[in-house]
């Protein structure tokens, strides 16, 4: 009987430990992205013209709901865009919504979170883009590709300016 109680207690503790670690894993992965970011890169528009672009971003993680709120504002000499997104994490998968406020385009987002790398697809009616966000220390790279659209590719290198 004593062995049964000990075994039951061990199983309960193991289940509690697993439950407690799952949100922490998401929190730690999103922690790579949190903070204020700034940097530069290039924007490629339909037709192949390229311009230098400057960007600022703010990412906030909500550890209680395994969520990341992202805001990224970028401008070149000819183009400007502002991307906002709310992403949730569930077992390696990310999903959520996005909104490009300067063009009033919005849609859904889905993909994978692996360590400090988010690989996702953003969709709307008549629009699809692939997104890649990779953080390493105080550096982050952002890649957005949408062949055939007004802005066909964006490649940005950001540095964290504070948490």
Q: What is the CATH number of the domain that holds 106?
A: 2.40.128.20
CA quadruple 133, 136, 141, 143: dihedral sign: negative
Domain count, the chain: 1
Domain that residue 12 falls in: 2-162
Please report the beta strands in the chain, taking only residues with DSSP state E, as ranges in sequence order.
35-45, 50-62, 67-75, 80-90, 93-100, 105-114, 117-124, 127-136, 139-145, 151-162
pLDDT the model gives residue 9: 35
pLDDT above 70 covers a percentage of the chain that reads: 80
pLDDT digits (tens, 9 = 90+) for 8-60: 333 333 333 333 333 344 445 688 889 999 999 999 988 889 999 999 999 99
Higher pLDDT pick, 3 / 89: 89
Distance (Å, whole) CA 154 – CA 53: 9
pLDDT value for 71: 94
Mean pLDDT of 147-159: 92
Q: What's the pLDDT tens digit per position in 116-143?
A: 999 999 999 888 999 999 999 999 999 9
């Amino acid at each position: 009987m004593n062995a049964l109680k000990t075994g039951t207690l061990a199983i309960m503790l193991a289940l509690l430990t697993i439950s407690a670690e799952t949100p922490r894993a998401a929190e730690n992965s999103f922690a790579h992205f949190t903070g204020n970011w700034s940097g530069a890169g290039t924007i490629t528009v339909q037709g192949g013209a390229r311009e230098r672009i400057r960007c600022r971003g703010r990412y906030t993680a909500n550890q209680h709901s395994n969520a990341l709120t992202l805001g990224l504002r970028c401008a070149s000499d000819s183009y400007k865009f502002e991307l906002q997104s709310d992403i949730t994490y569930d077992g390696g998968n990310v999903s959520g919504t996005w909104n490009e406020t300067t063009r009033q385009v919005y849609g859904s987002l889905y993909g994978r979170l692996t360590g400090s790398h988010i690989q996702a697809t953003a969709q709307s009616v008549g629009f699809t883009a692939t997104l890649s966000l990779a953080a390493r220390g105080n550096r982050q790279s952002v890649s957005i590709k949408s062949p055939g659209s007004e802005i066909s590719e964006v490649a940005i290198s950001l540095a964290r300016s504070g948490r």
